[in-house]
Amino acid sequence: MVDAELDLLVLGSGVAGLSAAVRAADTHKMRVGVLTKGELPQATTRWAQGGVAAVLGGDPDSTDLHLADTLKAGAGLCDAEAVRVLVDEGPARVNDLITLGAIFDRDSRGELELAREGGHTLARIVHAGGSATGAEVERALVEAVQLTAAALHEHAFALELIVEAGRCRGVTALFPDGTIQEVRARNVLVTTGGAGQLYAVTTNPLEATGDGIAMALRAGVAVADIEFIQFHPTALSVDSMPRPLLTEALRGHGALLRDTNGERFVDELQPRDVVSRAETWRMQELGTDHVFLDATGLEDFDQRFPNIAAELTRAGLDPAKDWLPVAPAAHYTCGGIVTDLQGASSLPGLWAAGEASCSGVHGANRLASNSLLEGMVFGPRAVEAIEAGVSGPEASGAMRTVLGMDPDRPDTVPAGVIGGRFVHLDPVEADPSLLPEDPAKARLVLQRELTDNAGVLRDAARLDAAAVVVAAALAAPRADTVADYELRNLATVGRAVVDAARRREESRGAHTRDDFPATDPAQAHRTVFV
């Protein structure tokens, strides 16, 4: 075992995990450990561009409007209580970050600059470095954590939860010297992010392999809404992976989407699911693999979006003259480990926040720039609950679907609660020889399969085909290497994505079925793996 028992072990080093670690160590003097498979700054957070949605301007904006926009984007599956917490506490958490040293962009009067993005009725996105917001948030948090955490384990890969007497007591982890050791803690907070690497075309870094969600699924911890994988409509269509993101703020500033004939085909400020779907349909119609983002009318592009300008120069594109080829790319895992409003999972001692969690704030489709916000709100909430001595989940937020219902009688849904369909992941027949033995090559096959058959557009036949490949990836023989463990985690989460997508015979938010194009009010429930 490494270290003495910690008060809190944080898995992952993005905005949710590090905001929690700082709150726990700095404010409450807890013994905190952070364990991450890369280096501390190497989290998906640092790739976030647009910013943080929070009502920091005055009238006519309000948290009620932010709440309404979030609920609308979430297509009937947001938990309104959870969204209320998000929008109400968000502004204070942004101010905490400013106090910690994060520098957000300001106008000539010193006021925070606010941008608009898809699905928002008003400009309310604060940003840093133009569109390098994640990098600035990560920088400020890493510096603070390095000063306060009791233990930092970098390049350590969490393998399994340790569960004793019905409570999570830490994890086993693969350390850089090749040993597998226990890291024990009274509480474990999973903030390991999403599983964008399930797809061949993604904006997510190589590390986004759904590790925490997979561990939770293997331990029987409730996971929900996992079929809702959000595709970002404007990833630059060049041959690099991850795909460079062209922030939604470009459309907020007036950039237009055009098909390869130059025609506009969608309202650019609709939520992402609507825009990505429209693009995919138009690309199918015209037989192309991209559409164009026309930012030629934007003034001061280089000053306002310096990191994107640099990326475009590398790609040989000039946004003042060229239309930019774009296509949808897997961007965000809307579901994850079910939590209550304090971040408590269904397993006492295990907490989750950020993209690895399903707190109920995103529903079937996350609103733009609500992701950094969720991390900075719900990470610290988990710490406050631990400090207050809370030992297990309560029926609030998305957890109301799990605790507020009788799993044997899912038809009896209490008023105000989103119902659940409770699912067990049973063993499946599989043929591991369908995939190459090399885990890196097997990952590419898995990614291609899910992109083709469980991506923006889905149907029963395609999902059945994806299920066969996912099962083969799950059954693949494994060595004790990070590549093998990542493949197993991707296959575990991929299996849940495909299984939930097959069961959801309707189209809703980020889940579109060609064979069930309508939204079915009778399916306004969560698919919960238990």
Catalytic residues: 272
Q: Among 335, 320, 326, which Cα is nearest to 288's?
A: 326
Q: Among 174, 186, 211, which Cα is nearest to 196's?
A: 211
> Which residues contact ligand SIN (rule: CB under 6 A)?
48-50, 245, 247-249, 368-369, 371
Cβ distance to ligand SIN smaller for residue 50 or 397: 50
Cβ distance to ligand SIN smaller for residue 112 or 444: 112
CB of 50 to ligand SIN, least distance (A): 3
* Exposure class string for 89-125: b at 16+ Cβ within 10 A, else e: bbbebbeebeeeebebbeeeeeebbbbbbbbbeeebb
Q: Which residues contact 280 (CB under 8 A, 6 or more apart)?
A: 328, 456, 457
What is the amino acid identity at position 425?
Answer: L
| 3-state DSSP percent of the chain in helix, strand and coil, to 5 | 35, 20, 45
CB of 189 to ligand SIN, least distance (A): 22
Cβ distance to ligand SIN smaller for residue 252 or 455: 252
Cβ distance to ligand SIN smaller for residue 49 or 346: 49
The helix (H) or strand (E) run that includes residue 331 is strand 324-333
Q: How far is CA 289 from CA 277, 356, 423, 485, in A?
A: 13, 30, 36, 32
Helices (H), 420-515: 439-453, 460-475, 482-503
Cβ distance to ligand SIN smaller for residue 371 or 396: 371
Alpha-carbon torsion 94, 29, 149, 333, what sign? negative
Q: Rounded CA gap, 155 and 136, in Å?
A: 22
Q: How far is CA 300 from CA 29, 50, 52, 113, 507, in A?
A: 46, 17, 22, 15, 39
Cβ distance to ligand SIN smaller for residue 35 or 356: 356
> What's the gap between Cα 515 and its chain centre?
27
Q: Rounded CA gap, 326 and 433, in Å?
A: 35
CB of 127 to ligand SIN, least distance (A): 9
CB of 394 to ligand SIN, least distance (A): 29
Q: Rounded CA gap, 211 and 207, in Å?
A: 9
Q: Rounded CA gap, 224 and 216, in Å?
A: 11
Cβ distance to ligand SIN smaller for residue 333 or 492: 333
Instruction: Tell me how far apart the 2 most distant CA atoms of the chain are, in Å.
Output: 64
CB of 388 to ligand SIN, least distance (A): 31
What is the amino acid identity at position 372?
Answer: L
Cβ distance to ligand SIN smaller for residue 252 or 349: 252
Cβ distance to ligand SIN smaller for residue 48 or 168: 48
CB of 85 to ligand SIN, least distance (A): 19
CB of 483 to ligand SIN, least distance (A): 27
Tokens of 234: 């404007």
Tokens of 440: 């890196």
Closest chain position to ligand SIN (CB): 50
Q: Rounded CA gap, 125 and 247, in Å?
A: 12
Tokens 């948290």 map to which residue? 63
CB of 501 to ligand SIN, least distance (A): 21
